[in-house]
C-alpha cells in the first residue's frame, strides 16, 4: 500500500482522493486546480486514482434506458444535424437565398435553419409544420442578434408539443435570461414559463409549455433573471408560424 507519509509528501496529498471523487467544496476547486498545476506529486496521485473512479459507474445496478428516451435524444440530434448541415453549406451565401426546405417523410418535425450573414446579423427562420407532406413553410427575417454572427433557430413540433432549439446564440448578459413569448396577433405577447440560457458554444433548447394553437409568432427576448410578465426588450428571435 502506498500510504506511507514522509516529510517530503505534499501537505495536500490527501486532497487528490477527494478531488477525483468530486467531493471538494466548490470554493476549494479553483485553488486545488491551481495547486495541481504546480505540484507533480499531487498530479501523479490524481493520475493514479482517477482510473479507479472511472470504474465506479459500473457498480451501479444495471437499468435500461427506455426507447422513448433514446428516441427523444435522436430526434433532437437529427434535427440539429440537418440544421447545422444546412448552415454549414450555405453560410457564405446571401441570407435570403439560404433558407431552403427539403421534405423529409420520416420525421414528423419542423426544422428551421437560420443563418445570419456576417455583418447584417440577420436571423432567417424557416419552419415546417405538420407531417402530412403538405407542410407549410414560412420564412421570416428577424431582428439582429447583436454580435451573433451565425445563430440558428429551429422550432420543432410533434404531438402538440413544441421545442425551440438554438445554436450559436450569444449567452445572455449577466443576470439575464432568455424568455419565450407567444403572440396571437399584433401587439400581443403572452409570457410562457419557458426561460432558458445557452451553453458556452451557444446551444440551447427549451420546451414551449403552452399550446401553439392560434399562435402567430414565437418570440424570444432577453429578460432579467426570473423572467418578466411583459417583454422589456425587443425580440432577438421571431418565428412566424404558418396561419
Partner 1 sequence: MPRLRRPSANSKEKLRKLADEELMERVAGNDADAFEVVLERHADAAFSLAYRICGRRSLAEDIAQEAFLSVWRSGARYDRARGSVRTWTLGIVHNRAVDALRRSGVHERRRASDEGIEETIEAPERTDTQALDNAASDEIRGALGELPAEQRRVIELAYFGGFTHLEIASMLDTPVGTVKGRMRLGLNKLRGQLQGWEAVGA
| Residue ranges binding partner 1 (CB under 8 A) | 1-3, 14-18, 20-25, 48-49, 51-66, 69-70, 72-74, 76-78, 80-82, 84-86, 88-90, 100, 102, 104, 106, 199, 201, 203, 205
Q: Smallest distance, Å, CB 66 to partner 1?
A: 7
Whether residue 157 contacts residue 129, with contact meaning beta carbons closer than 8 Å, is answered with: yes
Q: Decide the pairing of beta strands 152-158 and 136-141.
A: unpaired
| Minimum CB distance to partner 1 smaller for 48 or for 188 | 48
CA distance 118 to 108: 32
| Minimum CB distance to partner 1 smaller for 60 or for 119 | 60
Q: Which of 169, 170, 176, 136 is nearest to 153 (CA)?
A: 169
Helix (H) or strand (E) holding 34: helix 26-38
Q: Smallest distance, Å, CB 93 to partner 1?
A: 11
CA distance 162 to 220: 14
| Minimum CB distance to partner 1 smaller for 150 or for 238 | 150
CA distance 223 to 237: 13
| Minimum CB distance to partner 1 smaller for 62 or for 175 | 62
Grid cell 439575464 is found at: 176
Q: Smallest distance, Å, CB 169 to partner 1?
A: 13
Grid cell 451501479 is found at: 60
Q: Smallest distance, Å, CB 234 to partner 1?
A: 28
Q: Which residues contact 132 (CB under 8 A, 6 or more apart)?
A: none
CA distance 229 to 224: 11
| Minimum CB distance to partner 1 smaller for 67 or for 174 | 67
Q: Smallest distance, Å, CB 213 to partner 1?
A: 26
Q: Smallest distance, Å, CB 126 to partner 1?
A: 14
| Minimum CB distance to partner 1 smaller for 88 or for 214 | 88
Q: Smallest distance, Å, CB 38 to partner 1?
A: 20
Cα angle 194-183-192, degrees, rounded to a multiple of 5: 20
Q: In whole angstroms, how far apart are CA 160 and each of 71, 107, 155?
A: 17, 14, 12
| Minimum CB distance to partner 1 smaller for 163 or for 217 | 163
Neighbours of 98 (CB within 10 A): 22
Amino acid at each position: 500500500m502506498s500510504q506511507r507519509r514522509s516529510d517530503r509528501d505534499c501537505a495536500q496529498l490527501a486532497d487528490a482522493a477527494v478531488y477525483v471523487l468530486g467531493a471538494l467544496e466548490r470554493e476549494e476547486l479553483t485553488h486545488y486546480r491551481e495547486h495541481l498545476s504546480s505540484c507533480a506529486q499531487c498530479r501523479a496521485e490524481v493520475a493514479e486514482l482517477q482510473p479507479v473512479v472511472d470504474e465506479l459507474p459500473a457498480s451501479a445496478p444495471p437499468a435500461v434506458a427506455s426507447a422513448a428516451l433514446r428516441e427523444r435524444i435522436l430526434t433532437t440530434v437529427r434535427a440539429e444535424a440537418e440544421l447545422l448541415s444546412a448552415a454549414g453549406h450555405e453560410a457564405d451565401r446571401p441570407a435570403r437565398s439560404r433558407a431552403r426546405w427539403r421534405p423529409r417523410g420520416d420525421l414528423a418535425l419542423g426544422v428551421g435553419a437560420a443563418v445570419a450573414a456576417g455583418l447584417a446579423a440577420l436571423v432567417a427562420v424557416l419552419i415546417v409544420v405538420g407531417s402530412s407532406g403538405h407542410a407549410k413553410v414560412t420564412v421570416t427575417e428577424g431582428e439582429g442578434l447583436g454580435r451573433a454572427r451565425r445563430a440558428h433557430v429551429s422550432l420543432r413540433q410533434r404531438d402538440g408539443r413544441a421545442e425551440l432549439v438554438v445554436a450559436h446564440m450569444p449567452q445572455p448578459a449577466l443576470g439575464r435570461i432568455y424568455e419565450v413569448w407567444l403572440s396571437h396577433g399584433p401587439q400581443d405577447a403572452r409570457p410562457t414559463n419557458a426561460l432558458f440560457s445557452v451553453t458556452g458554444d451557444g446551444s440551447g433548447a427549451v420546451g414551449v409549455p403552452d399550446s401553439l394553437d392560434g399562435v402567430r409568432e414565437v418570440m424570444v427576448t432577453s429578460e432579467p433573471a426570473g423572467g418578466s410578465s411583459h417583454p422589456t426588450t425587443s425580440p432577438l428571435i421571431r418565428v412566424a408560424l404558418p396561419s
